[in-house]
Structures are given as structure tokens and as C-alpha cells.
Amino acid sequence: MATLPSTEPADAGAALAPAWLRVPDDANDLAPGLWSTTTTRNDAGELVVGGRTAASLAAEFGTPLYVVDETDARGRAASFRTAFEKEFARVGTTVSIYYAGKAFLSTEIARWMNAEGLNIDVCSGGELAVALAAGVDPARMGFHGNNKSLTEIDDATRIGIGTIVIDSPIEIERVAAAAARHGKVQSVRLRVNSGVHAHTHSFLATAHEDQKFGVVLEAAPALVAAIRSHPSLSFRGLHCHIGSQIFGADGFAESASRLLAVHADLLAGGPVPELNLGGGFGIAYTSVDTPTPVDELASRLADIVAAECETRGIPIPAIAFEPGRAIIGTAGTTLYEVGTLKPVDVGGQTRLYVSVDGGMSDNARPALYEADYAVRIASRTSDAAPALVRIAGKHCESGDIVVYADYLPGDVTPGDLLAVPATGAYCWSMASNYNYLGRPPVVAVIDGTARVLVRGETIADLLARDTGLGAGGVSTGSTSGGSTTDTSPINELKDSSR
């Protein structure tokens, strides 16, 4: 196997590593908590997910490839629900868990969540259509969004969606009118801003938030009165979502305290059966992330809600949460193939750029939020000393980074398969066709079998909506359908969009 054409020592560039990143004793190790539950290495050192080697998956489905560990996803959905049900029952109330479909939704994933007893949150007509196509009962869905269209509101009320989250004053009239038109009484929540912003290890509490979602908490009494004035609306309670990738319970505690103060006042005007504390529970993206175990989180949150209600002398309402990332994030792993290597001198240190066959079109989070990820060679192990690497995508954008910093064996080479863990949430769902790359397939693995949940896009897909081709469209290579002239060079292309 060819080695890196560099005279640098293998761990060159360590001074460029972020402060949190440690040089691993073994750059092949799979850090606990970072990889999906069935991920392991076999005796040959190959990465195995759901009983399938990375190499066999890449050979069958190509790369980049989103691999979803079904056991992991369903297991987390089940354990989240049972842990929260147990702890909230302990304090004398019920809890509903809504899977936040925006994290990653396909009909099969919606069915998994449904089968594991989770409700589903959608935030567009498209997400609603996918959940309905999966056979999910609309009564078990919530509908979010700061600018739901009149059509979305009309559809949601007509089909009997469980709850609509009112996000701005103008929506009260819109939802009330739609429900009345369809002879329905629509359950609604009111999204408020608690002034609590939580992100990862810390939270910030302010009086007001400068953001597009929800309404200020002080406006809630008047808006709830407006909701209650409509016979076609039924007020369920307040809703709040304080952020993403939150570790610990402190941010939720502060938010629950602020919401329950208003909730208690609202009880004077009528029933308030529920409180929805949103999602945002963090997962491990790198070896230094240590999310709170779900049992501990559920126990702390139940205690916090119970204590706040006792202080205010009010009954504990039914509670709802909306986790997305905490259910599906760790279940996902993306496989890439290494194409080029480039040692780059950075102030006398070497940063090794390892470029792969995907990038910001299959994972926008590093470019969008500077999100950190980890990486390992999936097709083999190696005794080579660790080298600091930056995994870059193939897009025409210098911010197209997949992994800002991690260590790989220093003999990483073109043709190696790389695996990036924790890509189940907000990767496929934010995927794009930038540079006309087709979106990769999604494959579910379980017990040694793999099945396609969403097929990858081909060149024919990429050209399918281009009206410049006339009615016949285009076909390439093995794709059937459409009409092309036999002499067109496009017929010489492999039916791949990479």
C-alpha cells in the first residue's frame, strides 16, 4: 500500500490541533459513545456496522454512503421513551415523546419511531407528507414552523393533525379559520421564548430573545386568551425549544421554571393540560463530548418539573419533549473514499488535507456551524503513528470541510474508506446538490443485512427538472427511460453523479 509522500514525522502538525483534541494512543480506536451501538472492528480490523463491513457496503452501494444502524436508532427511541415515561410516572404525570422529523425523516424511519411508541413532529407540508406516507396517524403528529403556509395549515387541520404549534399572533386567526372551515376543534400549543439559550455545556438566560421563533413569554396571557376565544381551537399549553446539542439539565430547569410561572397564571383562565419543553438533547460528536445518560436526564427533568409545580401549588401537567438528534444522530455513520492527500505548510507545521468524495453537500454542519466530527479509517487498521488530519470535501468552496481535526494513522492513503460517526441527524436532511453532486443513498443495516431507505441520485435525477431538455429528458448509461440521441457524449457517462 502506498504511503504518504511526505518527509514529515507522522504526527507532524500536532501543534495545529485544537486544545481539546488529544493524540490517541491508537488512531484506530472507536471511542465509546461516539459510534452506533453495533459498530465494532472485526478480526481483520475492518469497521462493521449492523453486521456489515464498511468495505462490503461501499462495494454494494458506493460512497459517500449514509449508513443507519437500525438497532441503534430504534433502541434509542425505545429507551428515551421508557426512561422518560418511568420518571414522569414517578412524579405523577405522563410524558409524550415527539421524534423531531427534521433531524432525519424517511418513511421507514417514521415507521421505526411509530413502532417504538414515539409521536412525530413535522415542520413542513413535505415532512407531513412523508410521515403520512409512512402510515403514521396524524393525530400523533405535531406541526411546527414560523411561517406555515395557508395551504399547510389547511391541510393539517383537515387531516386531523394532533397539535399545531402557534408561532406568531397572526397564526391564531389562520388556524382558527381553517379548523372552523373543516368543522374541527384544533389542539394548539403556543411557542414562547423563555429567554434561555442553551448550547452544549452552558446556557444563557436573558429577558428577551432576538429571534424568529415563538413569542415573548410576557405576551402569552393575551395570546392564550385570544386562542381561548375561538371555539375552533383548544389550548393545550406552552411550548419552548431552547437550543441544540444541550448537555445536562440546567438549561431545561431554568426554562421550565420560567414557563411554569406563566403556566400557573394561565390556569386561572381555563385548563392547561400540557407543557412542552422541546428538544435539543446533546450527543457525542467527538471523544470529548459526554452527554448525560438518558435515565439520569429523565430523572433530573422529572424532579425539576415536579419541584417547580409544588412550589407554585399547581398540578403537574402532562409533559412533552421533542428529541431529534438524541434519537437518530448516533445511529448514522457516513462512509467516504479517500481521493487525494495534500500536506499543507501552516506556519512551519504540516496540516494533512485528506480529500474525500463527498463534503458539504452531504454534511453541511461543519460549514454552517463549524461543527466538529471525528473520523477513522474504516477499511483497515494500521500501526502507523497518528497524524493530524483535516478531512475536506470535493466542493468548490474552501469552507467545505467534513472533519476539522482528528488523528488518523499516518499512512492514510487514496482508496482508504473513511467513516465519520454521528452523522444521523441534520446531515441527510440538510443535503444539497451543490456542484451537481447527487445526494448519496441511505442504507439501513441490521443483523448483517442492508437495505436502501432512500436511493442515491443519478445524473438522470439531476437533469430531471431541467426544462431545457424538452419533454424527453435525458438518460445516461444504465438508466432507462427518457430519450437521447445516441451520439451524445452524455451517453458515455457512467450513471453516477460523481
Q: Which one, 324 or 456, has the nearer CB to ligand PLP?
A: 324
CB-based contacts of 418, cutoff 8 Å, min separation 6: 335, 336, 337, 338, 354, 356, 375, 376, 377, 378, 391, 408
CB-based contacts of 121, cutoff 8 Å, min separation 6: 98, 99, 100, 101, 102, 141, 142, 143, 144, 322, 324
Is 242 a binding residue for ligand PLP by CB under 6 A? The answer is no
Side chain identity at residue 269, one-letter code: G
The residue count of the chain comes to 498
Longest distance between any two alpha carbons in the chain, whole Å: 80
C-alpha to C-alpha distance for 141 and 159, rounded to whole angstroms = 11
Q: Which one, 76 or 230, has the nearer CB to ligand PLP?
A: 76
What residue number has its CB nearest to ligand PLP?
324
Is 81 a binding residue for ligand PLP by CB under 6 A? The answer is no
What are the grid coordinates assigned to 314, written together?
A: 399547581
Per-residue binding string, ligand PLP, 85-124, x by CB under 6 A, is ---------------x-xx---------------------
C-alpha to C-alpha distance for 344 and 338, rounded to whole angstroms = 17
Q: Which one, 80 or 407, has the nearer CB to ligand PLP?
A: 80
Give the rounded distance of the alpha carbon of 226 from its chain centre.
34
Is 74 a binding residue for ligand PLP by CB under 6 A? The answer is no
C-alpha to C-alpha distance for 106 and 442, rounded to whole angstroms = 10
Is 325 a binding residue for ligand PLP by CB under 6 A? The answer is yes
Q: Which of residues 366-425 bind ligand PLP (CB under 6 A)?
A: 425
Ranges assigned E (strand) in 232-302: 233-239, 243-246, 274-276
Closest separation between CB of residue 276 and ligand PLP, Å?
A: 9
Q: Which one, 281 or 404, has the nearer CB to ligand PLP?
A: 281
Query: Was 162 annotated as part of a binding site?
Result: no
Residue 64, preceding bond cis, omega within 30 degrees? yes
Query: Was 322 annotated as part of a binding site?
Result: yes
Is 188 a binding residue for ligand PLP by CB under 6 A? The answer is no
Query: Was 451 annotated as part of a binding site?
Result: no
Is 247 a binding residue for ligand PLP by CB under 6 A? The answer is no
CA neighbor of 353 nearest in space, from 45, 2, 6, 58: 6
Of 279, 359, 438, 440, the one binding ligand PLP by CB under 6 A? 279
C-alpha to C-alpha distance for 248 and 239, rounded to whole angstroms = 20
Closest separation between CB of residue 430 and ligand PLP, Å?
A: 11
Per-residue binding string, ligand PLP, 122-161, x by CB under 6 A, is ----------------------x-----------------
Q: Name the residues annotated as catalytic.
A: 396
Query: Was 324 annotated as part of a binding site?
Result: yes
* Measured torsion, CA atoms of residues 119, 70, 326, 33, in degrees rounded to the nearest 10: 160
C-alpha to C-alpha distance for 129 and 114, rounded to whole angstroms = 15
Radius of gyration for the alpha carbons in the chain, expressed in angstroms and rounded? 25
Is 301 a binding residue for ligand PLP by CB under 6 A? The answer is no
Closest separation between CB of residue 216 and ligand PLP, Å?
A: 17
Give the rounded distance of the alpha carbon of 221 from its chain centre.
33
What are the grid coordinates assigned to 97, written together?
A: 415523546
What are the grid coordinates assigned to 231, written together?
A: 371555539
CB 168 within 8 A of CB 189: no
Query: Was 365 annotated as part of a binding site?
Result: yes
Is 365 a binding residue for ligand PLP by CB under 6 A? The answer is no
Closest separation between CB of residue 136 and ligand PLP, Å?
A: 17
Of 61, 281, 336, 428, the one binding ligand PLP by CB under 6 A? 281
Is 241 a binding residue for ligand PLP by CB under 6 A? The answer is yes
Is 428 a binding residue for ligand PLP by CB under 6 A? The answer is no
Pick the piece of the chain touching ligand PLP (CB under 6 A) from 12-20, 37-45, 254-262, 276-284.
276-284
Contact residues: ligand PLP, CB under 6 A: 100, 102-103, 144, 241, 244, 278-281, 322-326, 425
